[in-house]
Chains A and B, each alone.
Chain A
Amino acid sequence: KNEVEQSPQNLTAQEGEFITINCSYSVGISALHWLQQHPGGGIVSLFMLSSGKKKHGRLIATINIQEKHSSLHITASHPRDSAVYICAVNGNKLVFGAGTILRVKS
């Protein structure tokens, strides 16, 4: 079993829809990161969480430490949100989930 599991693997949404991507992990962590990778490869950090909830624009990230689970929500999705979203956890090293490929259609 992978230390970090993301779901779904692929997601297609219509513009304007509310989107949720999930991340479960099996190791003790000090922090969890949500990252975005656009076609062409560049990777940027969206959030770093160690508890609770963070919001940035239309993006919201939550984490439940007891349940070892985090979610990334996108409100009012837009085609420019199409990307791969990656969950990564800080245990004794940084481990990545396989990513969720999101496509938002107009």
Chain B
Amino acid sequence: NAGVTQTPKFRILKIGQSMTLQCTQDMNHNYMYWYRQDPGMGLKLIYYSVGAGITDKGEVPNGYNVSRSTTEDFPLRLELAAPSQTSVYFCASMPLIIAGLSSGNTIYFGEGSWLTVV
């Protein structure tokens, strides 16, 4: 049981390049999220998914795309990278909240992906 695995951990991109951040969870969680965190700032939601085949935009979706073809995987694609996308990216997953359950309704985070666009 590896939890949430994010790759790559570090990447430098040139302006205009594209790349995909991979996120995989092995806990059969329904919910998956992508956040970005700029220096000294809080987490901002880019996209989220409530299950395979379903995705929705968060606060800052422009310049990104996602897909959720399986429960396990939730890749984040950056098209035409811009310096404004320099940030740390976190993937997270969570099971369906079960009311009254005192444990197990926990958010799990990947270790983060440090992306620099130059």
Residues of B within 8 A of A90 (CB): 97
The interface residues of chain A, by DSSP majority, are classed as strand
Say yes or no: B106 contacts A41, CB within 8 Å: no
Q: Is B18 an interface residue (CB 8 A)?
A: no
Q: Give the distance in Å from the alpha carbon of A48 to the alpha carbon of B97 in the complex.
A: 10
Residues of A within 8 A of B108 (CB): 45
The A/B interface has a contact count, at CB < 8 Å, of 56
Contact of B107 (CB < 8 Å), options: A33, A42, A95, A99: A33
Say yes or no: A41 contacts B88, CB within 8 Å: yes
Say yes or no: B42 contacts A93, CB within 8 Å: no
Please tell me the size bucket of the interface on A: 20 to 34
Contact with A along B72-89 (1 / 0, CB 8 A): 000000000000000010
Residues of B within 8 A of A33 (CB): 106-107
Q: Is A44 an interface residue (CB 8 A)?
A: yes
Listed A/B pairs (12) with beta-carbon separation below 8 Å: A35-B107, A41-B88, A43-B112, A50-B97, A86-B42, A86-B43, A93-B58, A94-B48, A96-B35, A96-B43, A97-B42, A99-B42
Interface residues of B (CB under 8 A from A): 31, 33, 35, 37, 41-45, 48, 56, 58, 88, 90, 92, 94, 97, 99-100, 105-109, 111-112
